[in-house]
């Protein structure tokens, strides 16, 4: 299993594009989230319009979904031909279909490729990956995802504070991409995770690694310093590639 980091930024970060990764295995590429500023690094890394096989959306916020329409239009114009899997909750599918209807207005209805919708409630597998989902504590419904393939496992939190369900999901992962918005809990941002919470969680999972992302722009340098000597935690870097191998 191969994870390529496209973006690590929070919604309004002026230096880092919105958080997104591409997970690959068995010739299948699954993109997780496609926010407003993700298109540039995606197309730079994958200029082939057929390169991405599927997209999973964690939740309906602009920095996680607003890149979908321009990406789809670019793929259409560049000649994409194969179907695209989109994995979402039923509610999120409705939101995205409205967004697409607005975004495609006046641009023609003839599409050379099919969009295949998959609901999280009915999707135990996408491509070569076995999949599990868990609801986090966020301002809208956000589902973390666990992908498993050939003995390796990867979890991606999306936004939101941890819950018993997300903690149980992460305990099964070799590598967890965890939203870490702040250094410490803050009642004003209770729907986001923080470094103290991640440390407590990691202490109960000695075999797991946590890559931190979606850090509030004011605190990125501080969190980098705080985890510098922690063997379990590190801050994710745009463009890096991580391999998860069996065993």
Number of domains the chain contains: 1
- Give pLDDT, residue 165: 98
112-130 pLDDT tens trace:
899 999 999 999 999 999 9
Q: How far apart are CA 184 and CA 186, in angstroms?
A: 6
Question: Which distant-in-sequence residues (6+ apart) come within 8 Å of 135 by Cβ?
Answer: 141, 142, 143, 144, 163, 165, 166
Domain that holds residue 158: 2-243
CATH number of the domain where residue 223 is located:
3.60.15.10
% of the chain with per-residue pLDDT over 70: 98
**What separation, in Å, do the N-terminal and C-terminal C-alpha atoms of the chain show?**
12
H or E stretch at 220: helix 220-226
79-105 pLDDT tens trace:
999 999 999 999 999 999 999 999 988
Nearest 5°: CA angle at 234, between 229 and 240?
130
User: Sheet holding 152-156: strands in order across?
Assistant: 125-126, 129-135, 143-149, 152-156, 175-179, 209-213, 233-235
Residue 236 and residue 32 in contact, taking contact as beta carbons nearer than 8 Å: no
pTM for the predicted model, two decimal places: 0.96
- Give pLDDT, residue 14: 94
Which residues of the chain carry a pLDDT beneath 50? none
- Give pLDDT, residue 121: 94
- Give pLDDT, residue 246: 67
């Amino acid at each position: 299993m191969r994870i390529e980091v496209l973006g690590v930024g929070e919604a309004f970060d002026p230096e880092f594009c919105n958080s997104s990764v591409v997970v690959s295995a068995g010739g299948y590429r699954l993109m997780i989230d496609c926010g407003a500023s993700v298109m540039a690094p995606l197309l730079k890394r994958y200029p082939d319009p057929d390169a991405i096989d599927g997209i999973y959306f964690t939740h309906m916020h602009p920095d996680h979904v607003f890149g979908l329409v321009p990406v789809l239009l670019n793929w259409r114009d560049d000649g994409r031909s194969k179907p695209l899997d989109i994995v979402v909750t039923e509610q999120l599918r409705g939101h995205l279909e409205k967004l697409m209807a607005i975004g495609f207005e006046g641009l023609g209805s003839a599409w050379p490729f099919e969009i295949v919708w998959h609901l999280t409630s009915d999707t135990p597998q996408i491509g070569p990956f076995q999949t599990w989902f868990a609801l986090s504590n966020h301002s809208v419904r956000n589902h973390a995802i666990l992908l498993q393939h050939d003995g390796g496992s990867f979890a991606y939190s999306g936004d939101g504070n941890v819950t018993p369900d997300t903690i149980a999901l992460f305990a099964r992962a070799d590598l967890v991409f965890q939203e870490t918005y702040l250094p410490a809990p803050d009642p004003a941002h209770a729907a986001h995770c923080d470094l103290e919470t991640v440390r407590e969680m990691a202490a109960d999972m000695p075999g797991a690694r946590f890559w931190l992302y979606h850090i509030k722009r004011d605190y990125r340098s501080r969190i980098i310093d705080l985890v510098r000597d922690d063997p379990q935690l590190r801050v994710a870097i745009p463009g890096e590639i991580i391999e998860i191998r069996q065993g």
